[in-house]
Amino acid sequence: MTIIIFILVLIILILVHELGHFLFAKMFGIRVDEFGLGFPPRIWGYKPKGSETTYSINAIPFGGFVKIYGEDYDSIEGDPDRNRSFVLQDKWKQTLVLFAGILFNIILAWILISSTLLVGVNYGTSDRYSDRVIDPGVVVANVLSDSPADVGGLMLGDKILFVSSNGVSIQGDEVNPDSITEVIKGSDGSDMDFLVKRGEENVTLKVTPSEEIIPGSFAIGVSMINSGKLKLPPHLAIVEGARITYELTGSIIGGVWGLLKDTFSGNGSMANVVGPVGIAGLVGDASRMGFVALIIFVAMISLHLAVLNLIPFPALDGGRILFVIIEKIKGSPLNPKIVSSINLIGFGLLLLLLLFVTYKDIVRLF
């Protein structure tokens, strides 16, 4: 089931991305020869009467593509329809067509996040909308890998209802991050009983604190936040969704920039970078936490896809935008053979990176 959900998520994210390119190309009168679901070989194709675009379903179900007419000068030489080619458009139009995929991934994340606020989502309590937060409580915000909490079964998003150890128990209004921490510290390493709400179920867990995480103090390897369910009316959900999307995008850009900077300075680490296998596992984890958690995770992937495509690297949208900017400054087209070779090298490097992180994902499983 996890694989099916992962494939569906991937298809949706890439199709939305390609839809951005498609709609902006159409808006500027650029000819679009094909809009494909999946990658070739083609299984089925349909070209509506009077349409210039073939809509296809292809054999490899990982995403989709848009075939825009005239992406290099050689392909339009002598063609009477050349004025509708991509390369003969104004540079600002080319830039917007290339940026549109990134924009649509951001818009998708905004829509998804706003929709979760409409139906109700776990939300850290703060001054913002605090009067609208219902069913407040303490939620697990992070679980260290291989920590006592991880081994005991505590998961991201678990709402802690009851904690007991060494004859001390807390529940109801007594449960807060500070009181839980005190019980953990006072456990002397004895087993702790946790009752948590996971989705719609109550789950009982046993966790054994350790002094290995914080020398001299018992800990279980979790961070906790005060949280409750926030449900907003449509107009506020849209505004708050936009704010969250903006902040998340900025945070992701900062994270990617930091990773790239550390990598080029020799201080980078690929330990936390995941590929398709790792993402598939995370999709499975999110789906087990409930539909809303899955929607939020898809929004996060969509934002990551947008930011990664913004990087000015060959074969990515950002790289192609960079070539357009260089042509604008230069005042003449770049050599199409050189551009094609650079993009091919970039694609090869991205493929090698994908294989590397996929290998690391598989190693983590065993």
Dihedral class, residue 246 (left if φ above 0, else alpha if ψ from -120 to 50, else beta): alpha
In a domain, 16, yes or no: no
Report CA 131 to chain centroid distance, whole Å: 30
* Rounded alpha-carbon distances, angstroms, from residue 37 to 15, 66, 69, 123, 362: 7, 9, 18, 36, 28
Residues in a beta bridge with 163 = 170, 194
In a domain, 169, yes or no: yes
In the prediction, which pLDDT does 72 show? 81
Which residue bears the tokens 């953990």? 184
In the prediction, which pLDDT does 111 show? 98
Which candidate in 18, 77, 211, 240 is catalytic? 18
Number of domains in the chain: 1
Mean pLDDT of all residues in 49-66: 88
Check which CATH number belongs to the domain holding 210 and give it.
2.30.42.10
Question: What pLDDT digit, counting tens, does each position of 125-183 carry?
Answer: 555 777 787 778 888 988 998 899 999 999 988 999 999 998 899 998 888 899 999 99
In a domain, 282, yes or no: no
- Which DSSP string corresponds to 206-236? EE--EEEEETTEEE-SEEEEEEEEE---HHH
Where does the chain show beta strands of DSSP type E?
32-46, 54-68, 121-124, 133-143, 159-165, 168-171, 192-198, 201-207, 210-214, 217-219, 222-230
Question: What pLDDT digit, counting tens, does each position of 149-163 carry?
Answer: 999 999 988 999 999
In a domain, 213, yes or no: yes
Mean pLDDT of the chain: 87
pLDDT over threshold 60, residue 98: yes
Mean pLDDT of all residues in 334-359: 85
In a domain, 281, yes or no: no
Question: What pLDDT digit, counting tens, does each position of 225-238 carry?
Answer: 887 788 899 999 99
**What is the pTM (predicted TM-score) of this model?**
0.78
In a domain, 180, yes or no: yes
Q: Token digits for 201?
A: 């179920």
Is there a contact between 198 and 289 (Cβ–Cβ < 8 Å)?
yes
DSSP code of residue 71:
S
Confidence of residue 243 (pLDDT cuts 50, 70, 90): very high
Confidence of residue 289 (pLDDT cuts 50, 70, 90): low
Catalytic annotation present for 240: no
In a domain, 19, yes or no: no
Give the residue numbers spanning the domain of 215.
130-230
Confidence of residue 350 (pLDDT cuts 50, 70, 90): confident
